[in-house]
Structures are given as structure tokens and as C-alpha cells.
């Protein structure tokens, strides 16, 4: 499977005109609005914790803007140290 490389989010939006921005963002915004509404309702119904809701919303935003994934996480010193050691 061939991997296609896309330009970064910054490069894409930095080179857009206001009209291009509106056309690009509106469908994403509409989709995000529906998904975030469902996540908020799930938190209110206690089907998700607030942290789980924030993680879902973070993932929704990342996906809509073509990031692979980013998740809200607590940064513990042990985790940071272990990650730095693994990279060496």
C-alpha cells in the first residue's frame, strides 16, 4: 500500500484565501458539531466520564483535521522518562 504524504495543517491553512478556508472548514465544523453534541450528551448521561469525553472530542478534532491521533493524557515523570529512554 503506497503512503501518500500530505502537507501539514499549518501549511494548508496558511496558504488559503478566506473563501477557501470557509469552504474547507464548514463541512468539518458541521460534522464536529454533531459528534461533540453526542459526546456531551453521553457525559451528561454518565456513559462517559468528563475525561473520556474530552479525549473523544480531542480525537474528533484531530481526525477531522487529518492528524493521525492525539489524546489528552496526564504526563507523569515516569512516562516521560520511559519514553526518552526508549528513543535512545
> How far apart are the C-alpha atoms of 33 and 60, rounded to whole Å?
10
Q: What is the mean pLDDT of the chain?
A: 78
pLDDT above 80: residue 54:
yes
The mean per-residue pLDDT over the stretch 55-84 comes to 66
- Percent of the chain predicted with pLDDT > 70: 65
The answer to whether 40 and 53 are in contact (CB under 8 A) is yes
Other CB atoms within 10 Å distance of the CB of residue 83: 10
The span from the CA of 55 to the CA of 63, in Å, is 12
Query: What is the residue extent of each domain of the chain?
Result: 9-87
pTM of structure: 0.60
3-state helix vs strand vs coil in the chain, percent to 5: 65, 0, 35
> Can you tell me the distance from the alpha carbon of 75 to that of 88, in angstroms, rounded to the nearest whole number?
20
pLDDT band at residue 47 using 50, 70 and 90 as cut-offs: very high
Amino acid at each position: 500500500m503506497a503512503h501518500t504524504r500530505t502537507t501539514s495543517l499549518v501549511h494548508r491553512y496558511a496558504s488559503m484565501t478566506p473563501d477557501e478556508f470557509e469552504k474547507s472548514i464548514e463541512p468539518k465544523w458541521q460534522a464536529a458539531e454533531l459528534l461533540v453534541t453526542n459526546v456531551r450528551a453521553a457525559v451528561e448521561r454518565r456513559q462517559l466520564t468528563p475525561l473520556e469525553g474530552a479525549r473523544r472530542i480531542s480525537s474528533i478534532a484531530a481526525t477531522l483535521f487529518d492528524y493521525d491521533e492525539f489524546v489528552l493524557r496526564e504526563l507523569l515523570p515516569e512516562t516521560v522518562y520511559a519514553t526518552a529512554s526508549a528513543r535512545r
